[in-house]
Structure 1
């Protein structure tokens, strides 16, 4: 099972040997293979990221894999810490002139370990969540390993940062039906596949359709 190594342990290992980074590379490669089959119209289709097409999401993933801590901090500072402006600038930088160029740029970073500040599980979450932002509206199947989804879900419910994961499960009892993920100490159960729970915790209401239990309505209302 993939686990986030706490920063306080002092455990260091080359990123290429970290199982979380290997999972990042595997999920990027799987998404790239799916993208290679898209039509021009599908590249321009809306994703689950409001205001972004499939191409925009892919360019965003390329940007995240192309900017390390220093470059990211310079970009954010240059945008006066307006993250919408920062994201738009980096997206435009990596979009390319055509879907084929967008895909080529993404393929070039499939095995990158470059990333902004944050644990490896955060960058696994970046590709897992955004891959579903693309696949779900296009009706493409997903085969994310339970271990990878579990690592992301555990990160999300531990904090309110890139997603409001801790707030999403407050007062609920969230349980995966296909793996070990459990979160929350509330009385309202929510059950379903780990990937669907991960996506709902990340604010994607569409995935609440894959969940069951009295707490689903509460979780859906918190998506946004």
Structure 2
């Protein structure tokens, strides 16, 4: 198992620990994902722990090959699962070992880090992903030039306030490294900040 994959399990486990100790209403709080509450994000990221490859294929067929439709459908439906079930799925070894088709360990870690930050940044909680994992995802996203999420980073300088990480030149954007990942993932922070679109 690569170093990248080894960070996936701790990220989901710490997210489960955070939510297990949170008030019940936390599950219905808004996340950074548009129109999704915290419970929708958890229902989304735990899909690999619930759906067999055959079930996933059936869901994809029902969504006519549109992964966004599939994601929204499953998140809306499975968000109503008992909290104990969702927490158990966050801790599942199946989820911790899962890799997205064609995405490998890097894709698995991106999914874990970005969606965990959708929850923790929205809740004003510290990142649950290991610090090295957050930096690895920052490096991975900027290496793609913002193309993953349709951003225009040509005139942007990013500086982390909690580490020595920085990138780019132009208009300065300073935030903790987790919030920078969220911004680079096309999210709008609770304070209203976002990065320019291409």
TM-score range, shorter chain: 0.7 to 0.9
Query: Which structure 2 residues correspond to residues 33-182 of structure 1 after superposition, within 5 A?
Result: 33-64=17-48, 75-91=59-75, 94-95=78-79, 97-109=81-93, 112-117=96-101, 118-142=103-127, 144-159=129-144, 160-161=147-148, 163-164=149-150, 167-179=151-163, 181-182=165-166
Aligned length: 194
TM-score when normalising by structure 2: 0.79
Paired with 2:12 and 2:153, the residues of 1 have a C-alpha distance of 28
Q: Distance in 2 between matches of 1:101 and 1:206?
A: 29
Q: CA deviation digits over 1:28-78, x for unaligned, max 9?
A: 111111111122211122212121111111111101556688875664354
Using the TM superposition, give the Cα deviation of residue 173 of structure 1 relative to its aligned residue in structure 2, in angstroms.
2.6
Relative to 1, partners in 2 of residues 1:90 and 1:175: Cα closer, same or farther, differing over 3 Å?
Answer: same
For residues 66 and 113 of structure 2, the distance between their equivalents in structure 1, rounded to whole angstroms, comes to 25
Counterpart-to-counterpart distance in 1, 2:99 and 2:28: 26
- Once the 2 structures are TM-superposed, how far is the Cα of residue 152 of structure 1 from its aligned partner? 0.6
Report the aligned-residue RMSD: 3.0
Q: 1:115 to 1:153 in 2, by over 3 A?
A: same
Match of 2:186 in 1: 203
Compared CA separation, residues 144 and 112, structure 1 to 2 (3 A) = closer
- Worse-superposed segment, 128-137 or 167-176: 167-176
Which residue matches 1:212?
A: none
Structure 1 range deviating more: 39-48 or 187-196: 187-196
Using the TM superposition, give the Cα deviation of residue 19 of structure 1 relative to its aligned residue in structure 2, in angstroms.
0.7
Structure 2: give runs of 5+ residues left out of the alignment.
Answer: none
Q: 1:36 to 1:190 in 2, by over 3 A?
A: same
Kindly tell me: are residues 110 and 46 of structure 1, through their superposed partners in 2, closer, same or farther at Cα, counting changes over 3 Å?
farther
| Higher RCO (Cα < 8 Å, 6 or more apart) | 2
